[in-house]
């Protein structure tokens, strides 16, 4: 359960009981689901209602819709009406998108944008309405939202969420567009098409879909006009598409006649355009390859799982198809008969079927990714025609699909192999299987418009004499017009041998020659057939019994062959400690990262070719330098090592796809898509390593003595401020330490001291308890938390050659700070009486001389950097790595309290002079008394005696 997700902090509206929700079912005509980009187990489900009921009703799940009763339902109707007025009616959800920080709801009465989900500012979530001039309810109900799902958990400044809205209507002269887009906070919505310059006109150009390619910072359009469907890519500048095209537009063939939309697979650069066909682009829309052709059927919706790379296409007919991201093959996995439903992938890649009154997940086998139970029985992907078998080698063969001459032109595609059969397995109803390696199309081969090259995994059963008595005779071949006549010649007297009607659509196989598909029985001894390889026909030759064979891949008495998905044939393994399929790697300037993956074949009975088993594709090849090296080991496993290094000063992110191109869609993992960021890792930081380690328990107690009994921890006075250059009693810094607003401020007698000093954590507080200082803040060296800082390291005067040891901590471990990571050092309270010494090699000197005028600060080599302090009390230093050597803002602070300082000048000389004068005066007085024979001691003694006598 992702309790940290922003949407879970909110009360979306009025909570609804299950009984109230059930009363909505008769009015529901559709469902819309949207999920958190970073935590797909947190998702929203909205009801689309008919015109007889008004309302916006949304269910929230934090556990992936596994249990209907765990869904919390909210009524947002009152909130929506508070924005549009009670006089409007027929309110319903049309579409909705949950971005990283906002919820966008398209309703029949307009588009509504939530406040920032990260910052709860009121008990209930509020929305603002966006108005599109000229668009009314009839337009909104046909609107659609488009969103490229990306997770911005550790968001960079270059990462932006975009949402697009399209309307199914042509714009009028008074309207800017029928497509609008916006980036968060979604306050300003702009036309999707860039400004048209120089009087250029777009005519009847319609934007079907507009998406932002986050990898290459481009706007990708799926466009339609009266003549063609195309994809255009425009460069983004300041989050707006420019008129200039990045590449020439890609135009689809006329067969792609019913486009529905276009979508990026989440967190990747794989782009799918879908409708009556599905097209795949691996380069962000520059080029496309045909993945599937559904002819009269149309793909209406797509559903994606970034975790398993599953992609499901649901057709208008109810058929369900599955592919994997980047894989150039797909399969049919069943159908859906529910009238009202939607599909949803959770964070672990499980598919769920959601209906208004119940949820259904995959069967227990779904843990092995066999989640097809919710789609019924896995279908046979064969088609109704006969196949002709032609052997090429003992284990390799070609299956030709027969198309009768009288087959209507518009249905011939139903009797052909197509892309869905690539990588599948042909099964014979007798025995035998073969793996389809390649699809072939034919233009001039009579009777055969398509074929497949297959590799036999189990031998196919042949016909015997009891099934086909013709096998008892010799067979002669002769040409008869466009056909070939097969003639039987009795070889054994008394044995009945003839062609029968059941032999139609069987294949005559003659080793070394063309095979023949029997199409018609002329009489008992003659049959007409078509050849699979006309150039290899043994015309005029006779073959004796047992030198020719019959195979039955016909359909006269029920189809004798089927096609099903191949069981998983490859295992995917990562060569690191991470088991996650969602890997994020940071590459800083001058740094590199390596990735290793291993593909283990599970191809019993299938040859493994010495070709790369992996395809590697970079989403933005201009961002990083990527080098790939692949090799086979002794077990035929394929190992791929990728080295990624920084290339330019440009920050950004890109996806890197590893595709097992020959894998079955039945495999759990076929595509691995890590995200690479040319940026600073949020785990990277710089740390000062103290010269002497002090345990946490000693910091808490405030006592840590060295070998001479000197306490190395100083507890600062309350409301302490360090001295200034004007003296100890005149602090001029704005930073308080150990702040307590309820206590008096020391050293606050002078006017300049009274004007300085500002509380931070304790601002507008009356006591220290109200400052809410955490333990981390109390022990932090950061000046931002100086109010909370109570104890600091204590050193005895003088501090000489104190080593400033710096380390960089990251996910790769701890490394010392060395060149080219030069640093600047400053004292945050503007104190002086300190100096630094360091070594300056020639290469460092050149860089130092170049940087110091630019930064207007001294630049130091972190190697061998030493600090000497001649002042007293607290010194607070900030060390910063120079810009240009890292994307990170590496800053560290440390403090030193100098104690037991001798009196400053002229204290020591004055005391020495005064002592000398007093001592000299005493000596001179004694000398003078001796010269004049004056004995003051004797006189005092006589005076005491006289006093006693009187008493």
pLDDT tens-digit profile of 206-222?
A: 899 999 998 888 999 99
Question: What string of DSSP letters covers 611-630?
Answer: S-SEEEEES-TTTEEEEEEE
Q: Report which of 565, 563, 567, 629 is spatially closest to residue 601, judged by C-alpha positions.
A: 567
Please return the burial class of 923, using the count of CB atoms within 10 Å of its CB with bins 0-12, 13-18 and 19+.
Answer: exposed
Three-state SS for 224? strand
Distance CA 116, CA 193 (A): 27
Whether the predicted pLDDT of 681 surpasses 50:
yes
Q: Determine the pLDDT at residue 365.
A: 33
Whether the predicted pLDDT of 694 surpasses 90:
yes
Whether the predicted pLDDT of 610 surpasses 50:
yes
pLDDT tens-digit profile of 277-309?
A: 999 999 999 999 999 999 999 999 999 999 999
Average pLDDT over residues 612-622: 90
Which one is predicted more confidently, 367 or 883? 883
Whether the predicted pLDDT of 313 surpasses 80:
yes
Whether the predicted pLDDT of 200 surpasses 60:
no
C-alpha gyration radius of the chain: 42
Distance CA 590, CA 248 (A): 34
Q: Determine the pLDDT at residue 361.
A: 87
Distance CA 414, CA 116 (A): 52
Burial 811-820 (b: 16+ CB within 10 A, else e): eeeeeebeee
Whether the predicted pLDDT of 753 surpasses 80:
yes
Percent pLDDT > 70 in the chain is 94
Whether the predicted pLDDT of 905 surpasses 60:
no
Q: Report which of 590, 608, 494 is spatially closest to residue 881, judged by C-alpha positions.
A: 590
Distance CA 234, CA 192 (A): 11
DSSP letter at 735 equals B
pLDDT tens-digit profile of 13-23?
A: 999 999 999 99
Which one is predicted more confidently, 578 or 603? 603
Among 352-361, 373-382, 846-855, 907-916, the range scoring the smallest mean pLDDT is 907-916
Q: Determine the pLDDT at residue 493.
A: 76
Whether the predicted pLDDT of 488 surpasses 70:
yes
Banded model confidence at residue 131, pLDDT cuts 50, 70, 90 = confident
Sequence-ordered strand ranges (E) for 459-575: 474-480, 483-489, 506-509, 516-523, 526-531, 542-543, 549-552, 561-564, 570-574
Asked whether the beta carbons of 852 and 823 are under 8 A apart, the reply is no
Residue 615 has which token pair?
């395809």
Residue 916: enclosing H or E segment and its boundaries?
Answer: helix 907-931
Q: Report which of 666, 615, 669 is spatially closest to residue 322, judged by C-alpha positions.
A: 666
Asked whether the beta carbons of 915 and 888 are under 8 A apart, the reply is no
Q: Determine the pLDDT at residue 178.
A: 86
Residue 292 has which token pair?
């599937």
Distance CA 261, CA 727 (A): 73
Taken as a whole, the chain contains a residue count of: 951
Banded model confidence at residue 935, pLDDT cuts 50, 70, 90 = confident
Do β-strands 675-678 and 584-586 pair in parallel, antiparallel, or remain unpaired? parallel
Average pLDDT over residues 728-747: 93
CA-CA distances (angstroms) from residue 404 to 292, 412, 884? 24, 9, 71
Banded model confidence at residue 370, pLDDT cuts 50, 70, 90 = very low
Banded model confidence at residue 182, pLDDT cuts 50, 70, 90 = very high
DSSP count for the chain of H helices, then E strands: 9, 62
Residue 694 has which token pair?
């002090």
* CA torsion angle 389 391 395 399 (round to 10): -30
pTM of the model: 0.87
Distance CA 721, CA 730 (A): 9
Place of tokens 């995959």: 362
Q: Determine the pLDDT at residue 159.
A: 85
pLDDT tens-digit profile of 231-258?
A: 999 999 888 898 889 989 999 999 999 9
Strand partners, 240: 237
Which one is predicted more confidently, 521 or 2? 521
- Residues 6+ away with beta carbon under 8 Å from 73: 15, 16, 18, 20, 21, 57, 58, 59, 60
**Is the torsion defined by CA of 278, 281, 286, 289 positive or negative?**
negative
Q: Determine the pLDDT at residue 492.
A: 73
Among 134-143, 488-497, 845-854, the range scoring the smallest mean pLDDT is 488-497
Banded model confidence at residue 950, pLDDT cuts 50, 70, 90 = low
Distance CA 441, CA 293 (A): 14
Banded model confidence at residue 948, pLDDT cuts 50, 70, 90 = low
Banded model confidence at residue 172, pLDDT cuts 50, 70, 90 = low
């Amino acid at each position: 359960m992702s309790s940290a997700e922003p949407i879970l902090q909110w009360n979306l509206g009025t909570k609804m009981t299950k009984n109230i929700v059930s009363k909505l079912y008769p009015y529901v005509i559709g469902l819309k689901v949207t999920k958190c980009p970073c935590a797909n187990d947190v998702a929203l489900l909205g009801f689309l209602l008919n015109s007889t009921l008004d309302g916006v009703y949304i269910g929230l799940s934090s556990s992936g819709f596994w249990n209907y009763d765990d869904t919390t339902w909210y009524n947002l109707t009152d909130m929506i009406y508070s924005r549009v007025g009670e006089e409007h009616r027929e309110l319903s959800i049309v579409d909705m998108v949950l971005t990283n920080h906002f919820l966008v709801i398209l309703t029949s009465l307009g588009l509504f944008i939530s406040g920032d989900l990260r910052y709860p500012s009121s008990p209930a979530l509020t929305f603002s309405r966006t108005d599109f001039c000229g668009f009314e309810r009839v337009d909104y109900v046909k609107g659609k939202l488009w969103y490229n799902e990306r997770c911005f958990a550790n968001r960079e400044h270059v990462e932006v969420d975009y949402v697009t809205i399209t309307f199914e209507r042509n714009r009028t002269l008074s309207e800017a567009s029928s497509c609008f887009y916006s980036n968060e906070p979604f306050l300003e919505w702009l036309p999707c098409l860039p400004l048209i310059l120089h009087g250029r006109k777009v005519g009847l150009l319609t934007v079907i879909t507009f998406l932002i390619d986050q990898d290459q910072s481009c706007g990708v359009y799926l466009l339609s006009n009266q003549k063609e469907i195309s994809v255009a890519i425009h460069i983004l500048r300041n989050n707006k598409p420019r008129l200039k095209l990045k590449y020439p537009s890609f135009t689809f063939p006329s067969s792609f006649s019913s486009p529905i939309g276009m979508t990026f697979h989440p967190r990747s650069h794989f782009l799918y355009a879908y409708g009556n066909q599905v097209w795949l682009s691996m380069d962000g829309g520059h080029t496309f390859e045909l993945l599937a052709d559904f002819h009269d059927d149309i793909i209406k919706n797509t559903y994606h799982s970034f975790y398993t790379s599953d992609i499901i296409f649901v057709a208008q007919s109810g058929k369900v198809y599955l592919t994997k991201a980047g894989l150039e093959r797909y399969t049919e996995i069943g159908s859906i008969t529910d009238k009202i439903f939607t599909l949803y992938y959770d964070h672990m890649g499980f598919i769920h079927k959601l209906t208004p009154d119940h949820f259904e997940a995959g069967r227990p086998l779904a843990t092995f990714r066999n989640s097809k139970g919710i789609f019924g029985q896995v279908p046979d992907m064969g088609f109704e025609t006969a196949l002709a078998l032609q052997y090429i080698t003992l284990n390799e063969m070609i299956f030709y699909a027969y198309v009768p001459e009288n087959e209507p032109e518009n249905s011939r595609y139903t009797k052909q192999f197509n892309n869905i059969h690539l990588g599948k397995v042909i099964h014979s109803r007798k025995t035998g299987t073969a793996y389809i390696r390649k699809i072939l199309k034919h233009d001039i081969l009579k009777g055969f418009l398509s074929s497949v090259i297959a590799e036999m995994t189990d031998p196919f059963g042949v016909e015997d004499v009891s099934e086909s008595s013709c096998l008892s005779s010799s067979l002669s071949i002769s040409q008869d017009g466009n056909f070939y006549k097969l003639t039987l010649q009795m070889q054994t007297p008394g044995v009945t041998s003839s062609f029968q009607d059941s032999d139609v659509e069987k294949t005559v196989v003659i080793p070394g020659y063309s095979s023949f598909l029997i199409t018609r029985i002329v009489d008992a001894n003659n049959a007409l057939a078509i050849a699979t390889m006309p150039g290899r026909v043994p015309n005029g030759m006779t073959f004796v019994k047992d030198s020719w064979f019959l195979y039955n891949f016909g359909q006269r008495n029920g189809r004798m062959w089927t096609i099903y998905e191949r069981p998983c044939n490859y295992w995917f393994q990562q060569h690191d400690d991470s088991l996650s399929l969602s890997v994020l790697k940071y590459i800083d300037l001058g740094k590199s990262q390596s990735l290793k993956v291993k593909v283990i074949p599970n191809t019993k009975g299938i040859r493994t070719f010495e070709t790369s088993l992996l395809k590697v594709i970079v989403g933005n090849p201009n961002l990083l330098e990527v080098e790939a090296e692949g090799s086979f080991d002794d077990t035929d496993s394929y190992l791929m090592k990728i080295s990624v290094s920084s290339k330019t000063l440009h920050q950004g992110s890109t996806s890197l796809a590893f595709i097992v191109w020959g894998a079955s869609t039945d495999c759990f993992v076929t595509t691995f898509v890590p995200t690479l960021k040319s940026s600073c890792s949020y785990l990277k930081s710089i740390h000062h390593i103290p010269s002497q380690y002090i345990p946490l328990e000693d910091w808490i107690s405030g006592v840590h003595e060295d070998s001479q009994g000197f306490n190395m921890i100083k507890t600062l006075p309350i409301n302490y401020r360090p001295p200034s250059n004007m003296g100890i009693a005149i602090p001029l810094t704005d930073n308080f330490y150990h702040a307590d607003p309820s206590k008096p401020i020391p050293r606050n007698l002078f006017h300049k001291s009274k004007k300085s000093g500002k509380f931070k954590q304790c601002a507008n507080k009356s006591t220290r308890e109200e400052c809410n200082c955490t333990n981390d803040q109390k022990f932090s060296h950061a000046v931002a938390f100086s109010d909370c800082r109570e104890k600091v390291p204590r050193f005895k005067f003088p501090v000489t050659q104190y080593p400033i040891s710096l380390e960089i901590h990251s996910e790769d471990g701890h490394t010392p700070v060395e060149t080219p990571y030069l640093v600047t050092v400053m004292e945050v309270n503007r104190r002086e009486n300190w100096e630094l010494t360091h070594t300056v090699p020639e290469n460092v000197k050149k860089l130092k001389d170049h940087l110091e005028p630019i930064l207007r600060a001294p630049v130091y080599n972190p190697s061998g950097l030493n600090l000497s302090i001649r002042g007293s009390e607290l010194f607070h230093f900030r060390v910063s790595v120079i810009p240009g050597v890292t994307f990170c803002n590496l800053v560290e602070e440390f403090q030193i309290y100098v104690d037991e300082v001798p009196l400053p000048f002229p204290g020591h000389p004055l005391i020495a002079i005064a002592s000398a004068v007093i001592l000299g005066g005493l000596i001179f007085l004694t000398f003078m008394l001796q010269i004049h024979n004056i004995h003051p001691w004797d006189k005092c003694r006589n005076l005491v005696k006289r006093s006693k006598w009187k008493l």
